[in-house]
Structure 1
Protein backbone atom coordinates (compact mmCIF):
# COMPACT_ATOMS: atom_id res chain seq x y z
CA UNK A 1 0.00 0.00 0.00
CA UNK A 2 1.30 3.44 -0.86
CA UNK A 3 2.27 5.59 2.10
CA UNK A 4 0.07 8.63 2.43
CA UNK A 5 3.04 10.61 3.70
CA UNK A 6 5.70 9.82 1.16
CA UNK A 7 3.66 8.55 -1.77
CA UNK A 8 4.98 6.43 -4.59
CA UNK A 9 8.45 6.84 -6.02
CA UNK A 10 9.93 6.32 -9.48
CA UNK A 11 11.54 2.90 -10.06
CA UNK A 12 14.85 2.37 -8.27
CA UNK A 13 16.09 -0.46 -10.49
CA UNK A 14 19.21 0.81 -12.27
CA UNK A 15 18.73 -1.54 -15.23
CA UNK A 16 16.32 -0.12 -17.81
CA UNK A 17 13.76 -2.38 -19.41
CA UNK A 18 14.08 -3.05 -23.12
CA UNK A 19 10.50 -2.33 -24.04
CA UNK A 20 8.71 -1.07 -27.10
CA UNK A 21 8.54 2.68 -27.48
CA UNK A 22 5.27 4.04 -26.05
CA UNK A 23 2.53 5.36 -28.28
CA UNK A 24 2.55 9.11 -28.79
CA UNK A 25 -0.31 11.54 -29.33
CA UNK A 26 -0.58 14.61 -31.52
CA UNK A 27 -0.08 17.75 -29.45
CA UNK A 28 -2.32 20.76 -30.05
CA UNK A 29 -2.19 24.40 -29.02
CA UNK A 30 -4.91 23.53 -26.50
CA UNK A 31 -2.57 21.01 -24.88
CA UNK A 32 0.08 23.73 -24.48
CA UNK A 33 -2.45 26.09 -22.89
CA UNK A 34 -3.83 23.42 -20.56
CA UNK A 35 -0.31 22.32 -19.57
CA UNK A 36 0.68 25.92 -18.80
CA UNK A 37 -2.36 26.33 -16.57
CA UNK A 38 -1.49 23.10 -14.77
CA UNK A 39 2.13 24.23 -14.46
CA UNK A 40 1.12 27.53 -12.85
CA UNK A 41 -1.23 25.63 -10.53
CA UNK A 42 1.62 23.33 -9.42
CA UNK A 43 3.86 26.34 -8.80
CA UNK A 44 1.20 28.02 -6.67
CA UNK A 45 0.58 24.78 -4.78
CA UNK A 46 4.24 24.61 -3.68
CA UNK A 47 5.74 28.07 -4.37
CA UNK A 48 8.64 27.86 -1.90
CA UNK A 49 9.86 24.45 -3.00
CA UNK A 50 9.36 25.27 -6.67
CA UNK A 51 11.10 28.62 -6.28
CA UNK A 52 14.04 26.90 -4.59
CA UNK A 53 14.90 25.06 -7.81
CA UNK A 54 14.58 28.29 -9.77
CA UNK A 55 16.80 30.11 -7.26
CA UNK A 56 19.41 27.36 -7.35
CA UNK A 57 19.53 27.58 -11.15
CA UNK A 58 19.73 31.39 -11.04
CA UNK A 59 22.60 31.39 -8.51
CA UNK A 60 24.47 28.80 -10.54
CA UNK A 61 24.01 30.98 -13.63
CA UNK A 62 25.42 34.04 -11.85
CA UNK A 63 28.42 32.05 -10.64
CA UNK A 64 28.94 30.68 -14.13
CA UNK A 65 29.05 34.17 -15.67
CA UNK A 66 31.27 35.44 -12.83
CA UNK A 67 33.71 32.62 -13.59
CA UNK A 68 33.95 33.91 -17.18
CA UNK A 69 34.93 37.33 -15.82
CA UNK A 70 37.37 35.85 -13.30
CA UNK A 71 39.04 33.80 -16.04
CA UNK A 72 39.20 36.97 -18.19
CA UNK A 73 37.13 35.26 -20.90
CA UNK A 74 35.10 38.41 -21.54
CA UNK A 75 34.17 37.32 -25.07
CA UNK A 76 32.44 34.21 -23.69
CA UNK A 77 29.96 36.02 -21.41
CA UNK A 78 27.22 36.53 -24.00
CA UNK A 79 27.52 32.99 -25.45
CA UNK A 80 27.54 31.58 -21.91
CA UNK A 81 24.42 33.52 -20.92
CA UNK A 82 22.58 32.63 -24.13
CA UNK A 83 23.64 28.97 -24.04
CA UNK A 84 23.15 28.45 -20.32
CA UNK A 85 19.39 27.71 -20.64
CA UNK A 86 20.29 24.63 -22.69
CA UNK A 87 20.89 22.71 -19.46
CA UNK A 88 17.53 23.73 -17.95
CA UNK A 89 15.72 20.44 -18.76
CA UNK A 90 18.09 18.46 -16.55
CA UNK A 91 17.86 21.05 -13.78
CA UNK A 92 14.08 20.59 -13.70
CA UNK A 93 14.11 16.94 -12.53
CA UNK A 94 12.87 17.89 -9.06
CA UNK A 95 10.03 19.89 -10.58
CA UNK A 96 8.91 16.90 -12.64
CA UNK A 97 8.79 14.78 -9.51
CA UNK A 98 6.77 17.42 -7.67
CA UNK A 99 4.23 17.59 -10.49
CA UNK A 100 4.05 13.80 -10.66
CA UNK A 101 3.14 13.58 -6.98
CA UNK A 102 0.74 16.53 -7.09
CA UNK A 103 -1.02 14.91 -10.04
CA UNK A 104 -1.47 11.72 -8.03
CA UNK A 105 -2.67 13.64 -4.96
CA UNK A 106 0.29 12.47 -2.87
CA UNK A 107 1.81 14.52 -0.08
CA UNK A 108 5.59 14.99 0.00
CA UNK A 109 8.38 16.95 1.63
CA UNK A 110 11.90 18.07 0.85
CA UNK A 111 13.47 14.71 1.68
CA UNK A 112 11.30 12.78 -0.80
CA UNK A 113 12.01 15.15 -3.69
CA UNK A 114 15.74 15.50 -3.00
CA UNK A 115 16.09 11.72 -2.62
CA UNK A 116 14.53 11.15 -6.03
CA UNK A 117 16.85 13.75 -7.58
CA UNK A 118 19.90 12.10 -6.00
CA UNK A 119 18.92 8.73 -7.45
CA UNK A 120 18.74 10.08 -11.01
CA UNK A 121 22.53 10.21 -11.36
CA UNK A 122 22.58 6.41 -11.07
CA UNK A 123 19.78 5.88 -13.57
CA UNK A 124 19.42 6.59 -17.27
CA UNK A 125 18.93 10.31 -16.65
CA UNK A 126 22.65 10.45 -15.94
CA UNK A 127 23.25 9.66 -19.61
CA UNK A 128 20.78 12.37 -20.59
CA UNK A 129 22.77 14.81 -18.48
CA UNK A 130 25.84 13.83 -20.48
CA UNK A 131 23.98 14.47 -23.76
CA UNK A 132 22.79 17.86 -22.48
CA UNK A 133 26.20 18.98 -21.28
CA UNK A 134 27.86 17.71 -24.47
CA UNK A 135 25.57 19.85 -26.63
CA UNK A 136 26.25 22.81 -24.34
CA UNK A 137 29.99 22.18 -24.78
CA UNK A 138 29.52 22.07 -28.57
CA UNK A 139 27.62 25.37 -28.32
CA UNK A 140 30.49 27.04 -26.43
CA UNK A 141 33.13 25.57 -28.73
CA UNK A 142 31.42 26.66 -31.94
CA UNK A 143 31.09 30.20 -30.56
CA UNK A 144 34.80 30.28 -29.89
CA UNK A 145 35.47 28.93 -33.38
CA UNK A 146 33.40 31.68 -35.05
CA UNK A 147 35.07 34.27 -32.84
CA UNK A 148 38.48 33.13 -34.08
CA UNK A 149 37.40 33.01 -37.73
CA UNK A 150 35.28 36.16 -37.99
CA UNK A 151 36.62 38.49 -35.29
CA UNK A 152 40.27 37.51 -35.50
CA UNK A 153 41.41 41.08 -36.24
CA UNK A 154 39.16 42.70 -33.64
CA UNK A 155 40.59 43.85 -30.35
CA UNK A 156 38.67 44.22 -27.10
CA UNK A 157 40.02 44.28 -23.58
CA UNK A 158 36.77 44.56 -21.65
CA UNK A 159 33.09 43.66 -21.91
CA UNK A 160 32.11 47.08 -23.25
CA UNK A 161 34.69 46.80 -25.99
CA UNK A 162 33.41 43.38 -26.92
CA UNK A 163 29.83 44.70 -27.15
CA UNK A 164 30.98 47.55 -29.41
CA UNK A 165 32.71 45.13 -31.76
CA UNK A 166 29.79 42.68 -31.88
CA UNK A 167 26.94 45.18 -32.26
CA UNK A 168 28.53 48.06 -34.19
CA UNK A 169 30.84 46.49 -36.78
CA UNK A 170 30.11 44.48 -39.95
CA UNK A 171 32.24 41.62 -38.61
CA UNK A 172 30.22 41.62 -35.41
CA UNK A 173 26.95 41.45 -37.35
CA UNK A 174 28.27 38.51 -39.32
CA UNK A 175 29.29 36.80 -36.10
CA UNK A 176 25.82 37.35 -34.60
CA UNK A 177 24.05 36.07 -37.71
CA UNK A 178 26.11 32.87 -37.98
CA UNK A 179 26.10 32.30 -34.22
CA UNK A 180 22.33 32.74 -34.04
CA UNK A 181 21.74 30.22 -36.84
CA UNK A 182 24.13 27.68 -35.31
CA UNK A 183 22.61 28.20 -31.87
CA UNK A 184 19.09 27.77 -33.23
CA UNK A 185 20.04 24.42 -34.77
CA UNK A 186 21.69 23.16 -31.58
CA UNK A 187 18.77 24.34 -29.47
CA UNK A 188 16.28 22.61 -31.77
CA UNK A 189 18.25 19.37 -31.56
CA UNK A 190 18.49 19.49 -27.77
CA UNK A 191 14.83 20.41 -27.39
CA UNK A 192 13.77 17.56 -29.66
CA UNK A 193 15.70 14.88 -27.78
CA UNK A 194 14.84 16.09 -24.25
CA UNK A 195 11.40 17.71 -24.21
CA UNK A 196 9.63 14.52 -23.06
CA UNK A 197 12.68 12.30 -22.54
CA UNK A 198 13.59 13.86 -19.18
CA UNK A 199 10.20 13.40 -17.47
CA UNK A 200 9.84 9.98 -19.11
CA UNK A 201 13.13 8.77 -17.64
CA UNK A 202 12.11 10.00 -14.22
CA UNK A 203 8.80 8.13 -14.31
CA UNK A 204 9.66 4.97 -16.24
CA UNK A 205 12.28 2.26 -16.25
CA UNK A 206 13.32 2.79 -19.85
CA UNK A 207 16.64 3.29 -21.62
CA UNK A 208 17.65 6.83 -22.57
CA UNK A 209 17.91 6.03 -26.30
CA UNK A 210 14.26 4.99 -26.41
CA UNK A 211 13.34 8.07 -24.40
CA UNK A 212 15.18 10.38 -26.81
CA UNK A 213 13.66 8.72 -29.87
CA UNK A 214 10.19 9.03 -28.32
CA UNK A 215 10.87 12.70 -27.68
CA UNK A 216 11.91 13.24 -31.29
CA UNK A 217 8.76 11.43 -32.46
CA UNK A 218 6.61 13.78 -30.38
CA UNK A 219 8.25 16.80 -32.01
CA UNK A 220 8.02 15.42 -35.56
CA UNK A 221 4.38 14.41 -35.03
CA UNK A 222 3.41 17.98 -34.05
CA UNK A 223 6.29 20.13 -35.35
CA UNK A 224 4.57 23.51 -35.47
CA UNK A 225 3.05 23.28 -32.01
CA UNK A 226 6.15 21.81 -30.37
CA UNK A 227 8.54 24.29 -31.98
CA UNK A 228 6.20 27.07 -30.88
CA UNK A 229 6.52 25.70 -27.36
CA UNK A 230 10.31 25.68 -27.80
CA UNK A 231 10.18 29.33 -28.85
CA UNK A 232 8.06 30.20 -25.81
CA UNK A 233 10.60 28.50 -23.55
CA UNK A 234 13.53 30.27 -25.22
CA UNK A 235 12.04 33.76 -25.13
CA UNK A 236 10.73 33.38 -21.58
CA UNK A 237 14.06 32.09 -20.32
CA UNK A 238 16.13 34.76 -22.05
CA UNK A 239 13.88 37.53 -20.72
CA UNK A 240 14.23 36.02 -17.25
CA UNK A 241 18.02 36.35 -17.48
CA UNK A 242 17.92 40.14 -17.74
CA UNK A 243 17.48 41.02 -14.03
CA UNK A 244 20.59 39.11 -12.87
CA UNK A 245 18.93 35.73 -13.58
CA UNK A 246 16.32 36.45 -10.87
CA UNK A 247 13.38 35.96 -13.21
CA UNK A 248 14.31 32.26 -13.35
CA UNK A 249 13.10 31.87 -9.76
CA UNK A 250 9.57 32.03 -11.17
CA UNK A 251 9.80 31.08 -14.82
CA UNK A 252 11.97 27.95 -14.53
CA UNK A 253 9.60 26.22 -12.07
CA UNK A 254 6.53 27.08 -14.13
CA UNK A 255 8.16 25.85 -17.34
CA UNK A 256 9.36 22.69 -15.58
CA UNK A 257 5.93 21.87 -14.15
CA UNK A 258 4.36 22.64 -17.53
CA UNK A 259 6.74 20.27 -19.31
CA UNK A 260 5.60 17.43 -17.04
CA UNK A 261 1.96 17.97 -17.92
CA UNK A 262 2.78 18.31 -21.62
CA UNK A 263 4.61 14.99 -21.45
CA UNK A 264 1.51 13.41 -19.92
CA UNK A 265 -0.55 14.66 -22.85
CA UNK A 266 1.98 13.69 -25.52
CA UNK A 267 2.91 10.15 -24.45
CA UNK A 268 0.70 7.16 -23.71
CA UNK A 269 0.33 6.71 -19.92
CA UNK A 270 2.04 3.84 -18.18
CA UNK A 271 0.00 0.71 -17.58
CA UNK A 272 -1.05 0.04 -14.01
Structure 2
Protein backbone atom coordinates (compact mmCIF):
# COMPACT_ATOMS: atom_id res chain seq x y z
CA UNK A 1 0.00 0.00 0.00
CA UNK A 2 1.38 3.41 -0.95
CA UNK A 3 1.59 6.30 1.49
CA UNK A 4 -1.08 8.19 -0.43
CA UNK A 5 -3.56 5.32 -0.38
CA UNK A 6 -6.10 5.60 2.45
CA UNK A 7 -6.62 2.70 4.83
CA UNK A 8 -9.03 -0.02 3.76
CA UNK A 9 -11.48 0.88 6.53
CA UNK A 10 -11.65 4.43 5.25
CA UNK A 11 -12.29 3.22 1.71
CA UNK A 12 -15.09 1.03 2.98
CA UNK A 13 -16.67 3.86 4.94
CA UNK A 14 -16.66 6.33 2.06
CA UNK A 15 -17.41 3.89 -0.77
CA UNK A 16 -20.79 4.61 -2.32
CA UNK A 17 -23.00 1.51 -2.25
CA UNK A 18 -24.70 0.00 -5.27
CA UNK A 19 -28.42 0.77 -5.04
CA UNK A 20 -30.70 -1.82 -6.59
CA UNK A 21 -34.21 -1.44 -7.98
CA UNK A 22 -36.88 -3.55 -6.31
CA UNK A 23 -40.49 -4.33 -7.09
CA UNK A 24 -43.40 -2.97 -5.09
CA UNK A 25 -44.26 -6.46 -3.92
CA UNK A 26 -40.93 -6.59 -2.10
CA UNK A 27 -42.55 -4.68 0.76
CA UNK A 28 -44.53 -7.80 1.67
CA UNK A 29 -41.29 -9.75 1.94
CA UNK A 30 -39.75 -7.05 4.14
CA UNK A 31 -42.66 -7.19 6.56
CA UNK A 32 -42.71 -10.97 6.52
CA UNK A 33 -39.02 -11.00 7.36
CA UNK A 34 -39.56 -8.36 10.02
CA UNK A 35 -42.27 -10.45 11.65
CA UNK A 36 -39.97 -13.47 11.58
CA UNK A 37 -37.21 -11.53 13.33
CA UNK A 38 -39.67 -10.08 15.83
CA UNK A 39 -40.70 -13.57 16.82
CA UNK A 40 -37.10 -14.78 16.92
CA UNK A 41 -35.97 -11.73 18.85
CA UNK A 42 -38.64 -12.29 21.46
CA UNK A 43 -38.06 -10.30 24.62
CA UNK A 44 -35.07 -8.49 23.13
CA UNK A 45 -37.24 -7.07 20.35
CA UNK A 46 -40.12 -6.30 22.69
CA UNK A 47 -37.71 -4.43 24.95
CA UNK A 48 -37.29 -1.77 22.27
CA UNK A 49 -41.01 -1.63 21.62
CA UNK A 50 -41.61 -1.21 25.35
CA UNK A 51 -39.16 1.70 25.42
CA UNK A 52 -41.25 3.49 22.79
CA UNK A 53 -44.46 2.82 24.72
CA UNK A 54 -43.00 3.94 28.06
CA UNK A 55 -41.62 7.11 26.51
CA UNK A 56 -45.08 7.86 25.11
CA UNK A 57 -46.73 7.37 28.49
CA UNK A 58 -44.15 9.57 30.20
CA UNK A 59 -44.66 12.37 27.69
CA UNK A 60 -48.42 12.07 28.14
CA UNK A 61 -47.96 12.62 31.87
CA UNK A 62 -45.42 15.45 31.58
CA UNK A 63 -47.28 17.35 28.86
CA UNK A 64 -50.82 16.59 30.01
CA UNK A 65 -51.63 20.31 30.13
CA UNK A 66 -49.83 21.18 26.89
CA UNK A 67 -51.39 18.92 24.31
CA UNK A 68 -50.08 20.90 21.34
CA UNK A 69 -46.50 20.23 22.42
CA UNK A 70 -47.34 16.67 23.40
CA UNK A 71 -48.81 15.99 19.95
CA UNK A 72 -45.72 17.37 18.24
CA UNK A 73 -43.26 15.39 20.34
CA UNK A 74 -45.31 12.21 20.19
CA UNK A 75 -45.72 12.17 16.42
CA UNK A 76 -42.07 13.22 16.26
CA UNK A 77 -41.34 9.75 17.59
CA UNK A 78 -41.62 8.54 14.03
CA UNK A 79 -39.07 11.13 12.93
CA UNK A 80 -36.32 9.88 15.24
CA UNK A 81 -37.42 6.26 14.89
CA UNK A 82 -34.64 5.35 12.42
CA UNK A 83 -32.05 6.11 15.10
CA UNK A 84 -33.96 4.64 18.04
CA UNK A 85 -34.44 1.31 16.23
CA UNK A 86 -30.71 0.87 15.61
CA UNK A 87 -30.58 -1.91 18.18
CA UNK A 88 -33.25 -3.78 16.24
CA UNK A 89 -31.02 -3.73 13.16
CA UNK A 90 -28.34 -5.37 15.27
CA UNK A 91 -30.77 -8.06 16.39
CA UNK A 92 -31.76 -8.74 12.77
CA UNK A 93 -28.13 -9.03 11.75
CA UNK A 94 -27.49 -11.48 14.58
CA UNK A 95 -30.42 -13.59 13.35
CA UNK A 96 -29.20 -13.29 9.76
CA UNK A 97 -25.79 -14.66 10.75
CA UNK A 98 -27.40 -17.59 12.57
CA UNK A 99 -26.54 -16.26 16.01
CA UNK A 100 -28.94 -16.35 18.96
CA UNK A 101 -30.42 -12.85 19.40
CA UNK A 102 -28.89 -11.14 22.43
CA UNK A 103 -30.10 -7.81 23.77
CA UNK A 104 -27.01 -6.63 25.63
CA UNK A 105 -24.68 -6.14 22.61
CA UNK A 106 -27.38 -4.18 20.77
CA UNK A 107 -27.44 -1.51 23.47
CA UNK A 108 -24.05 -0.32 22.22
CA UNK A 109 -24.69 -0.85 18.49
CA UNK A 110 -24.00 2.84 17.88
CA UNK A 111 -20.47 2.84 19.33
CA UNK A 112 -18.41 1.50 16.38
CA UNK A 113 -19.52 4.42 14.19
CA UNK A 114 -20.25 6.93 16.93
CA UNK A 115 -19.20 10.16 15.12
CA UNK A 116 -21.43 9.56 12.11
CA UNK A 117 -24.34 8.02 13.99
CA UNK A 118 -24.14 10.88 16.48
CA UNK A 119 -24.13 13.46 13.69
CA UNK A 120 -27.17 11.88 12.09
CA UNK A 121 -28.95 11.62 15.45
CA UNK A 122 -28.30 15.33 16.01
CA UNK A 123 -29.85 16.10 12.62
CA UNK A 124 -32.95 14.07 13.49
CA UNK A 125 -33.17 15.81 16.86
CA UNK A 126 -33.11 19.21 15.17
CA UNK A 127 -35.87 18.14 12.78
CA UNK A 128 -37.89 16.89 15.76
CA UNK A 129 -37.57 20.24 17.55
CA UNK A 130 -38.52 22.18 14.42
CA UNK A 131 -41.55 19.94 13.92
CA UNK A 132 -42.59 20.35 17.57
CA UNK A 133 -42.45 24.12 17.11
CA UNK A 134 -44.39 23.92 13.85
CA UNK A 135 -47.01 21.78 15.59
CA UNK A 136 -47.53 24.45 18.25
CA UNK A 137 -47.88 27.14 15.57
CA UNK A 138 -50.54 25.16 13.70
CA UNK A 139 -52.50 24.63 16.92
CA UNK A 140 -52.22 28.32 17.77
CA UNK A 141 -53.55 29.34 14.35
CA UNK A 142 -56.68 27.22 14.57
CA UNK A 143 -57.44 27.18 18.31
CA UNK A 144 -57.37 30.87 19.15
CA UNK A 145 -59.16 30.42 22.47
CA UNK A 146 -56.24 28.53 23.98
CA UNK A 147 -54.63 25.18 23.40
CA UNK A 148 -57.15 22.32 23.29
CA UNK A 149 -57.25 19.16 25.33
CA UNK A 150 -56.87 15.72 23.81
CA UNK A 151 -60.64 15.24 23.86
CA UNK A 152 -61.21 18.55 22.06
CA UNK A 153 -58.82 17.60 19.27
CA UNK A 154 -60.34 14.14 18.80
CA UNK A 155 -63.86 15.62 18.74
CA UNK A 156 -62.81 18.30 16.26
CA UNK A 157 -61.21 15.81 13.88
CA UNK A 158 -63.95 13.16 14.07
CA UNK A 159 -66.81 15.63 13.62
CA UNK A 160 -65.02 17.60 10.88
CA UNK A 161 -65.63 20.84 12.77
CA UNK A 162 -62.21 22.10 11.73
CA UNK A 163 -61.35 20.08 8.68
CA UNK A 164 -58.90 22.77 7.63
CA UNK A 165 -56.94 22.21 10.86
CA UNK A 166 -56.65 18.48 10.21
CA UNK A 167 -55.59 19.04 6.60
CA UNK A 168 -52.94 21.62 7.50
CA UNK A 169 -51.62 19.66 10.47
CA UNK A 170 -51.25 16.43 8.53
CA UNK A 171 -49.83 18.25 5.51
CA UNK A 172 -47.11 19.92 7.59
CA UNK A 173 -46.44 16.72 9.52
CA UNK A 174 -46.38 14.75 6.30
CA UNK A 175 -43.72 17.05 4.87
CA UNK A 176 -41.44 16.48 7.85
CA UNK A 177 -42.12 12.73 7.77
CA UNK A 178 -41.31 12.44 4.06
CA UNK A 179 -38.11 14.43 4.50
CA UNK A 180 -36.86 12.24 7.35
CA UNK A 181 -37.93 9.07 5.58
CA UNK A 182 -36.10 10.06 2.39
CA UNK A 183 -32.79 10.78 4.13
CA UNK A 184 -32.90 7.86 6.56
CA UNK A 185 -34.68 4.87 5.04
CA UNK A 186 -31.38 3.03 4.47
CA UNK A 187 -28.95 5.55 5.98
CA UNK A 188 -28.89 4.30 9.56
CA UNK A 189 -28.66 0.58 8.65
CA UNK A 190 -25.86 1.50 6.24
CA UNK A 191 -23.94 3.42 8.90
CA UNK A 192 -24.41 0.54 11.33
CA UNK A 193 -23.57 -2.28 8.94
CA UNK A 194 -20.70 -0.80 6.92
CA UNK A 195 -19.59 2.08 9.15
CA UNK A 196 -20.44 4.43 6.26
CA UNK A 197 -20.06 8.15 6.86
CA UNK A 198 -23.23 10.16 7.46
CA UNK A 199 -23.08 12.17 4.22
CA UNK A 200 -22.60 9.11 1.99
CA UNK A 201 -25.35 7.23 3.83
CA UNK A 202 -27.78 10.13 3.48
CA UNK A 203 -27.11 10.52 -0.24
CA UNK A 204 -27.47 6.76 -0.72
CA UNK A 205 -30.85 6.91 0.99
CA UNK A 206 -32.00 9.69 -1.33
CA UNK A 207 -30.78 7.72 -4.35
CA UNK A 208 -32.68 4.67 -3.10
CA UNK A 209 -35.88 6.71 -2.91
CA UNK A 210 -35.33 8.10 -6.39
CA UNK A 211 -34.71 4.64 -7.82
CA UNK A 212 -37.57 2.95 -5.95
CA UNK A 213 -40.32 5.56 -5.51
CA UNK A 214 -43.22 3.09 -5.62
CA UNK A 215 -41.94 0.47 -3.17
CA UNK A 216 -40.58 3.02 -0.71
CA UNK A 217 -43.73 5.14 -0.87
CA UNK A 218 -45.70 2.02 0.00
CA UNK A 219 -43.24 1.17 2.77
CA UNK A 220 -43.47 4.70 4.17
CA UNK A 221 -47.26 4.40 4.15
CA UNK A 222 -47.03 1.11 6.04
CA UNK A 223 -44.80 2.75 8.65
CA UNK A 224 -47.34 5.55 9.04
CA UNK A 225 -50.20 3.09 9.47
CA UNK A 226 -48.27 1.07 12.05
CA UNK A 227 -47.47 4.29 13.89
CA UNK A 228 -51.13 5.32 13.90
CA UNK A 229 -52.07 1.91 15.30
CA UNK A 230 -49.54 2.41 18.06
CA UNK A 231 -50.85 5.87 18.95
CA UNK A 232 -54.51 4.83 18.67
CA UNK A 233 -53.95 2.12 21.28
CA UNK A 234 -52.48 4.68 23.70
CA UNK A 235 -48.95 3.53 22.85
CA UNK A 236 -49.53 -0.12 23.78
CA UNK A 237 -49.44 -1.08 20.11
CA UNK A 238 -45.96 0.43 19.78
CA UNK A 239 -44.62 -2.54 21.73
CA UNK A 240 -45.25 -4.62 18.60
CA UNK A 241 -45.38 -2.14 15.72
CA UNK A 242 -42.05 -0.38 16.31
CA UNK A 243 -39.97 -3.59 16.48
CA UNK A 244 -41.80 -4.75 13.36
CA UNK A 245 -40.82 -1.53 11.59
CA UNK A 246 -37.21 -1.81 12.74
CA UNK A 247 -36.75 -5.42 11.70
CA UNK A 248 -38.56 -4.90 8.39
CA UNK A 249 -36.35 -1.90 7.62
CA UNK A 250 -33.32 -4.17 7.92
CA UNK A 251 -34.78 -6.41 5.22
CA UNK A 252 -35.50 -3.36 3.07
CA UNK A 253 -31.88 -2.30 3.45
CA UNK A 254 -30.57 -5.74 2.53
CA UNK A 255 -32.85 -5.85 -0.50
CA UNK A 256 -32.05 -2.37 -1.82
CA UNK A 257 -28.31 -2.16 -1.10
CA UNK A 258 -26.24 -4.68 -3.04
CA UNK A 259 -23.82 -6.85 -1.03
CA UNK A 260 -20.26 -5.61 -0.89
CA UNK A 261 -18.96 -8.58 -2.87
CA UNK A 262 -21.24 -7.53 -5.76
CA UNK A 263 -19.80 -4.01 -5.58
CA UNK A 264 -16.25 -5.34 -5.67
CA UNK A 265 -17.09 -7.55 -8.64
CA UNK A 266 -18.61 -4.62 -10.51
CA UNK A 267 -15.56 -2.48 -9.76
CA UNK A 268 -13.23 -5.21 -10.99
CA UNK A 269 -15.24 -5.61 -14.19
CA UNK A 270 -15.08 -1.88 -14.81
Structure-2-length-normalised TM-score? 0.85
Call closer, same or farther: CA 1:251–1:164 in 2, change over 3 Å: closer
Instruction: List alignment gaps of at least 5 residues for structure 2.
Output: 1-8, 265-270
Specify which of 6, 30, 36 is matched with residue 31 of structure 2: 36
Superposition misfits of 4+ residues, deviation over 6 angstroms: none
1:221-259 deviations in Å (ceiling 9; x for gaps):
111210111001101111122222111111111111110
Q: 1:264 maps to what in 2?
A: 254
Write out aligned runs for 1:71-220 (5 A): 72-117=65-110, 119=111, 122-152=114-144, 154-155=145-146, 158-161=149-152, 163-164=154-155, 172-220=162-210
Tell me the distance in 1 between the aligned counterparts of 2:163 and 2:246.
34
Q: Is the 8 A contact 1:125 1:208 kept in 2?
A: yes
Q: Structure 1 residues 233 and 157 mapped into 2: Cα distance closer, same or farther (>3 Å)?
A: closer
Q: 1:164 to 1:104 in 2, by over 3 A?
A: closer
Query: Is the aligned partner of 1:235 residue 2:235?
Result: no
Alignment partner of 1:19 out of 6, 14, 39: 14
Q: Deviations over 1:186-206 (max 9, x none)?
A: 110100101100111101122
Q: Is the 8 A contact 1:16 1:207 kept in 2?
A: no
What does residue 211 of structure 2 align with?
Answer: 221
Across the aligned residues of Structure 1 and Structure 2, the Cα RMSD in angstroms comes to 2.4
Residues 27 and 265, structure 1, Cα contact 8 Å, conserved in 2: yes
Of 89-98 and 31-40, deviating more is 31-40
Q: TM-score, normalised by structure 1?
A: 0.84
The verdict on how the C-alpha distance between 1:258 and 1:169 changes in structure 2, with shifts beyond 3 A counting, is: closer
Given the superposition, is the C-alpha separation of residues 47 and 169 from structure 1 closer, same or farther in structure 2, using an over 3 Å criterion? closer
Aligned counterpart, 1:8:
none
Report if aligned partners of 1:192, 1:216 keep a CA contact under 8 Å in 2: yes
Q: 1:21 to 1:55 in 2, by over 3 A?
A: same
Alignment gaps of 5+ in structure 1: 1-12
1:46 aligns with 2:41: yes
CA contact (8 A) 1:82 1:238 kept: no
1:65–1:80 Cα contact (<8 Å) kept: no
Question: What is the distance in 1 between the residues matched to 2:74 and 2:240?
Answer: 18
- Equivalent residue, structure 2, for 1:3: none
Aligned residue-pair number: 254
Equivalent position SS for 2:255? helix
Shift of 1:139: 1.2
Partner in structure 2 of residue 10 of structure 1: none
Q: SS of the counterpart of 1:185? A: helix
